[in-house]
Amino acid sequence: MLSKTIETAINAQINAELWSAYLYLSMAHNFEADGKSGIANWFKVQFKEEQAHAEIFMNYVNSRGGRVLLQPIEAVETEWATPLDAFKATLTHEQKVTSLINNLYALAESEHDYATREMLNWFVAEQVEEEDNAQQLIDKFTLIGNDGMGIYMLDQELAARTYTVPSPLAAGE
């Protein structure tokens, strides 16, 4: 059974994951409107991943006898001037999420909730990957600069990204 403190903290994380999904959906449609469908695709996949992260947390709360309490999702930005701006915002956001996950981990440790700590190990590793992916794209867009052909080629590369069900959800299906 989850303590009320852990349950409340995970519910806050669920809201943060859903907000992240909403942010990435906004980014996707920003670039869809600009004719950059590959970049839009990358953010649509990111949107699905964040929804899945929220689902993992919800499943966990339910499996531990807690109650999922969904809260309103705050508004997100709706415009980014360039892909580089969006990926810089993505990295900053993912660093914030990493901090939230680390805080949850520390809370689980302080409460001697080893099951929650174990569940969070997947998220700790996931955040390393999320930050690395964003940084790699920042590096690529920085290298390309305003070169239209380079942006076109990277847009084509990002169009190939596909969604993969995260292992904690795949195991439950």
Q: What is the pLDDT of residue 172?
A: 58
All domains of the chain in start order, with CATH? 4-165 (1.20.1260.10)
Tell me if 131 sits within 8 A of 98, measured CB to CB.
Answer: yes
pLDDT in tens, 49-96: 999 999 999 999 999 999 999 999 999 999 999 999 999 999 999 999
pLDDT in tens, 99-112: 999 999 999 999 99
Hey, what are 44's tokens? 């649509």
Helix (H) or strand (E) segment spanning residue 109: helix 83-110
Percent of the chain with pLDDT over 90: 98
pLDDT > 90? residue 170: no
Nearest in space to 22 (alpha carbons), one of 78, 69, 96, 68: 78
The CA-atom distances, in angstroms, between 78 and each of 30, 49, 125 are 7, 19, 29
Hey, what are 155's tokens? 């847009």
The CA-atom distances, in angstroms, between 36 and each of 48, 94, 104, 155, 160 are 19, 22, 36, 6, 13
Is 129 strand, coil or helix?
Answer: helix
